Structure 1
Amino acid sequence: MSFQRYDYDVIANWIEPGERVLDLGCGDGSLLRHLTEVRQVRGYGVENDPERIVACVRNGINVIQINLDQGLAGFDDGFFDHVIMSLSLQAMHNTQGILKEMLRVGREAVVSFPNFAYWRHRQSILNGHMPVSKNLPHQWYNTPNVRFFTIADFDDLCVQEGIAIHERLAFDEDRIIVDEPNFMASVALYRLGRQVGC
């Protein structure tokens, strides 16, 4: 089982059949297609890359072209059950803003991201090079990533921003990591909500 499939299955388990779902940075729409097939969601994708938008249309996905760093002003408060950002948060300039927007337009947010504190990444840096892996496939000079953060960093940000962590899973490939996830896990998945009273 590849990481991507595992990521999709975890997200699908957090979503009830028939929910309204918004997938931010949806790529070719394959996650939304999966959720439509297994959970019969009513979904929309948001993407800024023209080639990926064409791929979404080919996959039968309703897609809207938006620059996510400018927010989600076109969407009503609480319109979606879940707003998803899978492996794209590290490419956002306005990290705090997009998290707030996700929880404004959705009842819950689901985010996944590569953990830059993963032991193999640390080893790469000790060897004098930026990490390159399946979850970080680009070289330092052509990476779309603009934020380099860890599971511990994200936990701290959630506390600072008043974001409730409903569930967190950390894993390396398809193995769930329970002990020392900030060191042993390559990717983290979070199910987030608003703090009570926010």
Structure 2
Amino acid sequence: MTPLRPDLAIIAANVAPGSSALDIGCGDGALMVALRDERQVDARGLELDAGDVSRAVTRGLSVVQGDADTDLASYPDDSFDYAILSQTLQTTRRPDQVMDHLLRIGRHAFVSFPNFAHWRVRLSLLWGGRMPVTSNLPMRWYDTPNIHHLTVDDFRAFVKERGIAVEQAWFLSGGSLTTAAAANFRADHAVFLLSR
């Protein structure tokens, strides 16, 4: 099995064995396979891209094609122990509404996202004056799925304003864990475990 992306590895290691999870924006189901095979999790998925849905189903996963912006409303409250949104929040039209559904559907929610305040992004804008293209943000401004450019501090303020509890948070720099100190500047990705 291919190694998981660092944010997905953190999520996989922290989902309780034997629980249930909905992976929203699950891609080809890499995280779901790890949850199923290593943690005995009843994992379900929702994915927009038809090709990824097909690849996930071929892996024996329960994945349906759907859009996080419109299809989460049909899931009942507390349907899953965990609702997972990995590197998808910044691609949604209404992240505030998606977050409301995420915390309604799951008793706990994992959210991971690229930090657009990372020092390399800042440096690229400062010296080059253009939207950065990096290994973590490999697409150009006009072909990226990212439509909401959030930072660690933006997300911290968002959850505080909404009374969302942060159970745990992990910050990644170059795929390795870094401290919470100056995470808005030092971390290129963030992972939050949340609850109401």
Aligned to 2:194: 192
Q: Percent identity?
A: 39
- How big is the shift at 1:175? 2.1
Distance of 1:65 and 1:75 partners within structure 2: 14
Conserved 8 A contact 2:7-2:190: no
The Cα of 1:52 is off from its aligned counterpart by 1.1
Does residue 8 in structure 1 map to residue 8 in structure 2? Answer: yes
Q: Does 1:119 align with 2:119?
A: yes
Q: How far does the alpha carbon of each residue in 1:76-122 deviate from its partner, in whole angstroms, 9 at most, with x for none? A: 11010000011111101111111110110100000100000000001
User: Offset of 1:148 from its aligned partner?
Assistant: 0.4
Corresponding position of 1:50: 50
Q: Provide TM-score, normalisation by structure 1.
A: 0.93
Equivalent-residue separation in structure 2 for 1:134 and 1:82 (angstroms): 29
Partner AA of 1:173 in structure 2: G
The reply to whether residue 174 of structure 1 matches residue 168 of structure 2 is no
Q: CA deviation at 1:38?
A: 1.1
Q: Give the TM-score normalised by structure 2.
A: 0.94
Provide the C-alpha distance between the structure 2 equivalents of 1:130 and 1:149, rounded to a whole number of angstroms: 14
Report if the CA contact (8 A) 1:85-1:110 is conserved.
yes
Q: State yes or no: 1:66 paired with 2:59.
A: no
Quote the offset at 1:174 in angstroms: 2.8
Unaligned runs of 5+ in 1: none
Whether 2:24 is the aligned partner of 1:24: answer: yes
Q: 2-side partners of 1:139 and 1:73: how far apart?
A: 32
Aligned residue pairs total: 193
Indicate the residue corresponding to 1:80 in structure 2: 80
**1:33 to partner: Cα distance:** 0.7
Q: Deviations over 1:148-177 (max 9, x none)?
A: 010000000001111111111111123222
Give the gaps of 5 or more residues in structure 2: none
